[in-house]
Structure 1
Amino acid sequence: MTENKNYQNPDVQEPENDELEIDWMEILRKIIAIRKTLYKAAGVGLVLGIIIALSIPKQYTVTVTLSPEMGGDKSSGGLASLASSFLGGGANSNSSDALNVALAPDIVASTPFVLELFDTHIQTLDGNIDTTLVAYLDEQKGPWWSYIKAVPNMAIEAIKSLFTEKADTIAILNPFQLTEKEYLKVEGLRKAVTAEVDKKTAMTTVTVTLQDPKVTAMVADSVVGKLQQYIIDYRIKKAKEDCAYLEELYKERQQEYYQAQSKYAHYFDTNRNIAFQSVRAEQERLQNDMNLAYQVYSQVAQQLQVARAKIQEEKPVFAVVEPATIPLQPSGTSRKVILVGVVFFVVCVTGMWKLFGLRYWQLLKKNKQ
């Protein structure tokens, strides 16, 4: 009888080799062995971190918070209720308005709105620059590597300038067709100026980040003012159109009433002592025309007064919870954090290369040979 050599006792199991055992003491000994290399890497990282930290210009951030003034039902016709339906309702509003506070981020990021900011008058904190925002954008500094990236474009522009004549006329910004330089400024300002809306509270937060604290505060204040005016102009646009139409209609009906009144008075004075029935009939007809013209004229006058009052009622109400103020401290990642981060990154990369990468690189070179 032959014995099955492949038979294994089910009670006897092979030891599991799936778990990876890490010898931390061995790794620690290797790290101690390459400590001098890590010290050198830390020194290199320190120098590199200082260069990077000093190359990144300081940024200042100003945040302005707007809140709509809540009111009752819009049907009440009050100013607060209109503002609430336009601004405070958020996503829950049943208003038929095509524009509400939820669109504030899109308004601020739109090209026409950004182009309107170009003419904003600004002044730096030290007073050395007093100009428009579009001119100040050329004065902002960038890290040294941004200039290296811009060298090819600068060379291309220089070559183009040799074959094109410079125009002496002042260029007018055209939102439909922007030049490359204008487009880059619009994109940069669009990133620097943002708006967010809290759907629950309808609070609108406008944030501006630039390199000078006073310029940042002035631009933030201008953005808030233009945003408020943009929304107000939209809200009262229909009311103004209705009012303008009623103004024209009022003048026409007034002229018709004056003409009917003049005809009646002239006919009455001319035929005052005549007792013919035909004269009385014509006089009565002219009087009815005058009364009808007066009724229409009076109704249009009342509608005109209502339209004029509606312009004021349609204006939304804003409450600036947090106004624009000049920041005292720069925003963003501090230079100390950048320095520590670069040193840590260089040391970690060097250590990983010495402990693992170099070994696998040598094995790869042997396999190729």
Structure 2
Amino acid sequence: MSENKNYQHPDIQDPENDELEIDWMEILRKIIAIRKTLYKAAGVGVVLGIIIALSIPKQYTVTVTLSPEMNGDKASSGLASLASSFLGGAATSNSPDALNATLAPDIVASTPFVLELFNTRVQTLDGELDTTLVAYLDEQKSPWWGYIKAAPSMAIGAIKSIFAKETNTISVLNPFQLTEKEAAKVKGLRQSILAEVDKKTAMTTITVTLQDPKVTAIVADSVVAKLQQYIIDYRIKKAKEDCAYLEELYKERQQEYYEAQSRYAHYFDTNRNIAFQSVRAEQERLQNDMNLAYQVYSQVAQQLQVARAKIQEEKPVFAVVEPATVPLQPSNTSRKVIILEITFFTIFCVGGWILIGQPYWRNIKIKLIQKQKKDVK
């Protein structure tokens, strides 16, 4: 009986054959053959999925939509123009704002804006925690691998605290120089608060994601209020400065007019019955000074009224299309989905290794052995 020398084990392919042929029936038979191993992999995947799913804290997202008024330049119908026309002054022209609602993402992500949110009062849904936002950030949970990752820095911080001198001074937030802990909180809060602007419709969307639904809604509402106030303060800053300057100028010109009026009245009463020409000339000069002071005083009063009206005109209008509400469902991936994903991933990895990884590894070992034999010969 002749021996077939060309026979090879089905799991061992010819190393010199570069073409890869896929036999699906063979793969199906192999899957059936290793089904018990795949069952064990599925069990391990379920356990890992449960551990990971329970370790990831729930996240809640609140979205607020704003529709800001982009252009406050209404020279024909504005309050400043109306006041100017009544008072006889010229209509003022407004230049485009250097800051508008399109810069909302940059404003919300800025360090001073985030630091202003630290003192916001928040309350959890269960009512157990009523504190500031910066204190609440310390109460948020992290996955167990987050603690492992932060262990070296925590150890270094603990060692530093042992040798550091104790001080009773109260630390004040300084945007120019933050501590490592403060910088970490600013970074985390910046990642939790996002702002997007639709350039076509100018709709601004504020999204806040935190671990408590009520805290998330409170922070979202606070972000919207502070953003509105930030833009309003910037847009009326110049008008307020002009108004303050005119207020001071108005008081000075008013005082000058009152003094000129008092000098004229005193001189007129003192020299009422004197008919000298020099007395009349001095009286006329004082009267002219009084009239000139009144004209300047009147013009400044008109400009002050226009400036006061301009402050109101410069205030932008924000329409809250979608207000902040307490979310009912978490926004992160469901725990069931996480368990299923990790289970299927574990099965795929184990099955792929047995069906594809091991044969290729055997082929590599065979090639190495054959190469060694050739080298020996």
Same fold (TM over 0.5): yes
Q: Is the 8 A contact 1:77 1:313 kept in 2?
A: no
Instruction: Spell out the pairing of 1:3-152 with structure 2 (5 A cutoff).
Output: 21-69=21-69, 74-78=74-78, 96-152=96-152
Q: Is the 8 A contact 2:72 2:314 kept in 1?
A: no
Instruction: Spell out the pairing of 1:335-354 with structure 2 (5 A cutoff).
Output: 335-354=335-354
Per-residue deviation at 1:138?
Answer: 0.4
2:154 counterpart residue number:
154
Superposed CA RMSD: 1.9
Q: SS of 2:195's equivalent?
A: strand
AA at the equivalent of 1:242: D
Q: Is the 8 A contact 1:111 1:186 kept in 2?
A: yes
Instruction: Spell out the pairing of 1:244-283 with structure 2 (5 A cutoff).
Output: 244-283=244-283
Per-residue deviation at 1:231?
Answer: 0.7
Identity %: 82
AA at the equivalent of 1:178: L
Cα separation, 2, equivalents of 1:315 and 1:70: 11
In structure 2, stretches of 5+ residues that fail to align are 1-16, 80-93, 370-377
Aligned length: 339
Could you tell which deviates more after superposition, 267-276 or 292-301?
267-276
AA at the equivalent of 1:32: I
Per-residue deviation at 1:133?
Answer: 0.4
2:329 counterpart residue number:
329
Cα separation, 2, equivalents of 1:34 and 1:194: 48
Per-residue deviation at 1:68?
Answer: 2.1
Cα separation, 1, equivalents of 2:73 and 2:113: 31
Q: SS of 2:64's equivalent?
A: strand
Q: Is the 8 A contact 2:63 2:205 kept in 1?
A: yes
Cα separation, 1, equivalents of 2:43 and 2:134: 42
AA at the equivalent of 1:191: Q
1:218 counterpart residue number:
218
Q: Is the 8 A contact 2:70 2:101 kept in 1?
A: no
AA at the equivalent of 1:25: M
Could you tell which deviates more after superposition, 61-70 or 185-194?
61-70
CA spacing shift, 1:100–1:19, aligned 2, 3 Å: farther
User: What is the TM-score of this pair, normalised by structure 2?
Assistant: 0.86
Instruction: Spell out the pairing of 1:162-181 with structure 2 (5 A cutoff).
Output: 162-181=162-181
Could you tell which deviates more after superposition, 25-34 or 148-157?
25-34
AA at the equivalent of 1:250: Y
**Deviations 1:254-302 (CA, angstroms, capped at 9, x unpaired):** 1111111111111111221121222211111111111011000001011
Q: SS of 2:249's equivalent?
A: helix
CA spacing shift, 1:122–1:367, aligned 2, 3 Å: same
AA at the equivalent of 1:96: P
Cα separation, 2, equivalents of 1:325 and 1:186: 24
Q: Is the 8 A contact 1:140 1:211 kept in 2?
A: yes
AA at the equivalent of 1:229: Q
Q: Is the 8 A contact 1:56 1:143 kept in 2?
A: yes
Per-residue deviation at 1:311?
Answer: 1.1
Q: Is the 8 A contact 1:45 1:342 kept in 2?
A: yes
Cα separation, 1, equivalents of 2:328 and 2:134: 24
User: What is the TM-score of this pair, normalised by structure 1?
Assistant: 0.88
2:316 counterpart residue number:
316
Q: SS of 2:207's equivalent?
A: strand
Cα separation, 1, equivalents of 2:269 and 2:171: 68
Per-residue deviation at 1:235?
Answer: 1.0
Cα separation, 2, equivalents of 1:27 and 1:174: 64
Q: Is the 8 A contact 1:195 1:206 kept in 2?
A: yes
Could you tell which deviates more after superposition, 24-33 or 351-360?
24-33
Cα separation, 1, equivalents of 2:198 and 2:173: 34
Q: Is the 8 A contact 1:48 1:342 kept in 2?
A: yes
